[in-house]
Amino acid sequence: MWYTTSTSRQTDPIVDRVIKKYHERSQAGIKKYGTMLTRDDLNILDWLNHLQEELMDATLYVEKIKHELDKSE
pLDDT tens for 1-18 read 555 555 668 899 999 999
d(CA 21, CA 13): 12
Cα dihedral: 49, 39, 16, 9 (round 10): -130
The pLDDT value recorded for residue 4 is 59
CA-to-CA separations, 46 to 35, 40, 69, in angstroms, rounded: 15, 11, 35
Q: What is the CA radius of gyration of the chain?
A: 18
- Stated pTM of the model: 0.71
Encode pLDDT of 30-50 as tens digits: 999 999 999 999 999 999 999
d(CA 41, CA 45): 12
The pLDDT value recorded for residue 2 is 55
